Structure 1
Amino acid sequence: MITRDHAAFFAHARSLPADFGAATARAAFLVAPDGFARAEQSAGDNRYMAQADEFDPGRASAQHRELQRALSAVLPTICFAGDPDTPDALFPNNVFATSAGAATGPRCVIGRMRHPVRQREAARADIRAFFTQVLGYAEVDLSTQPHPCELTGALVIDRARGLGYAGLSERCDEAGARLMHEALGLRATLLFDLAPGEYHTNVVLAVLAGRAALVCPGGFADAGVAAAIAGFHAPHGWLLSAAEHAAFAANSIALSQDKVWMSAAAGRSLTPATLAGLADAGFAVATVELDAIEAGGGSLRCCVGEIY
């Protein structure tokens, strides 16, 4: 199923068991922020990006290294070298995604980025070879077709149930969403428009280990869709405040069953109600200072490529 009808989507989703696959990744990969700088093409539709004089490449590199160290305590986390010609490459989850569902077998999907500066990232022979030659994954290359489909930036996935939430914007159109749905072998995908000024779904929505959701209603063109997603995950679906939204609280990820990772700024923004709800769902909050990286218009979730 792939639909814009959220009532029909959730009626179907409630019939699905949580047996699609592992709810969290078995490993993660990062790309170092070598050459980290403001990419003017990306800035054209990313309102979160700072001005050029606010970028601090040295601090961003140190924070990125600390992120790898922290995540490595939870699961294997490798880091590929960056490239000064691809200043946004520290956000690799937009370009590379994996799936290991029974319907597809292990796959690496290569996304089609909207901006030419990011399209260069899809040509990384070393990252492609890591998945195909080292891990033996089949490759599904969407990078040369015309429809933008920026993978787990545009598509938030409930891996336990095989559900996709595809927010449409300049970074993902309906055809691109369908291509991702098919490439990742999902059972059902809900299509919806992001609010004007939003560029990626994973800035306004996180599904945590298949059993909880952080939702920013201000990021959705139709707040009813946000409420429906939170309702599906009740009692562990939370509508975040505008301050939590602005601090990237929804740009978070569960890499185990008991911990949700977000930037330190996001963690400081959490209301007592959100913190209590996460604790009730069995999640501790782990944070890493990423203010220098957030100048690039993304936060912790954007840095993490998942290996399933």
Structure 2
Amino acid sequence: MLTRDTHAFLAFARACGDDFGPATARAAFLVAPDGFALAEQSAQDNRYMAQAAAFDATRASMQHRDLHRAFSSVLPTVCFAGRADTPDALFPNNVFATAAGRYIVGRMRHAVRQREAAREDIRGFFAGVLDYAEIDLSTQEHPCELTGALVIDRARGLGFCGLSERCDEAGARLMHEAFGLRATLLFDLAPGEYHTNVVLAVLAGRAAIVCPRGFADSGVVEAIAALYSPHAVLCSEAEHRGFVGNAIALTPDTVWMSAAAARALQPASRERLRAAGFAVAAVELDAIEAAGGSLRCCVGEIF
């Protein structure tokens, strides 16, 4: 099912068991912020990006190493080198993603990010080392920025795809098929939002963090909240601005977010996560957040 009908999606999703696959990844991959700088093309439709003067490459590199160390304490985490001509490459989940036995290469909107899809070392890791089959969407014309645009409930095989200049309906269909999902809900992001994973996180298939202001249709927010009730965290505007929605569960018992997000997280939201079985772990990423993304954007999941 691929639909904009929230009622039909909710009815279908409620009937889906949590037997689609593992709820959390078996490993993770990162790309170092080598060449970290303002990407003028990406700034055209990413309102979260800071001005060029706010970019601190040294601090970003140090924080990224802290992130790598933190993730490595809970699951195997591989980090690829960055490149000077790909300043956004530290957000690899938009370009490369995995499902059981296969890896997917996305079609990026901006040329500066399309270069990332040509990385033979990353492709070689998935194809040659992990022996994953390739699904290459990077050469077709429809933008589909993978798990930036598409938030996935891996346990139930459900997708939540926000449409913007970074993903159109045809691109959403291609991703739905590539990941082999049972159902995907399509919806418009609010004006000024560029990626779904900044305003929505699904945590190990049993909880969700939702930033209502990031959705054009409040009915979509209500449907997602109903699906994950009573473990749906509806973020305030301050939590939204603090990147609380850009979080991820890499293990079944912990939700990871940036330190700025953890500071913005309200006590009631933290308690709702605790009730769902999640502790909150945080890493300081203020330098990286200048590039318009936060912790979730840095993480590629290996299933």
- Alignment partner of 1:78: what SS? strand
AA partner of residue 145 (structure 1): Q
How far the C-alpha of 1:8 sits from its partner, in A, is 0.2
Deviation per CA, 1:114-139: give whole Å up to 9, x if none: 00000000000000000000000000
How far the C-alpha of 1:230 sits from its partner, in A, is 1.1
Q: Are 1:91 and 2:91 matched, yes or no?
A: yes
Paired position in structure 1 for 2:186: 191
In structure 2, what is the Cα distance between the partners aligned to 1:188 and 1:260? 24
- Count how many residue pairs are aligned between Structure 1 and Structure 2: 303
Deviation per CA, 1:118-167: give whole Å up to 9, x if none: 00000000000000000000000000000000000000000000000000
How far the C-alpha of 1:223 sits from its partner, in A, is 1.5
- Contact 1:227/1:239, CA 8 A, preserved across alignment: no
Q: Are 1:212 and 2:207 matched, yes or no?
A: yes
AA partner of residue 158 (structure 1): D
How far the C-alpha of 1:246 sits from its partner, in A, is 0.4
Matches within 5 A, 1:82-121: 82-100=82-100, 106-121=101-116
Percent of aligned pairs with the same amino acid: 76
Q: Would you identify which runs of 4 or more consecutive aligned residues in structure 1 move more than 4 Å?
A: none
In structure 1, what is the Cα distance between the partners aligned to 2:190 and 2:223? 16
Structure 1 gap segments, 5+ residues each: 101-105
2:160 to 149, 155, 165: 165
1:145 to 126, 140, 145: 140
In structure 1, what is the Cα distance between the partners aligned to 2:218 and 2:238? 17
In structure 1, what is the Cα distance between the partners aligned to 2:265 and 2:118? 38
In structure 2, what is the Cα distance between the partners aligned to 1:240 and 1:249? 8
Paired position in structure 2 for 1:14: 14
Q: Are 1:174 and 2:149 matched, yes or no?
A: no
- Contact 2:161/2:185, CA 8 A, preserved across alignment: yes
In structure 1, what is the Cα distance between the partners aligned to 2:259 and 2:89? 22
AA partner of residue 61 (structure 2): S
Paired position in structure 1 for 2:126: 131
Paired position in structure 2 for 1:45: 45
- Alignment partner of 2:142: what SS? coil
CA RMSD of aligned residues (A): 0.4
Paired position in structure 2 for 1:275: 270
- Alignment partner of 1:255: what SS? strand
AA partner of residue 167 (structure 2): C
Deviation per CA, 1:78-102: give whole Å up to 9, x if none: 10000000000000000000001xx
In structure 2, what is the Cα distance between the partners aligned to 1:238 and 1:252? 12
Matches within 5 A, 1:60-71: 60-71=60-71
In structure 2, what is the Cα distance between the partners aligned to 1:230 and 1:29? 30
- Alignment partner of 2:175: what SS? helix
Paired position in structure 1 for 2:230: 235
Structure 2 gap segments, 5+ residues each: none
TM-score normalised per structure 2? 1.00
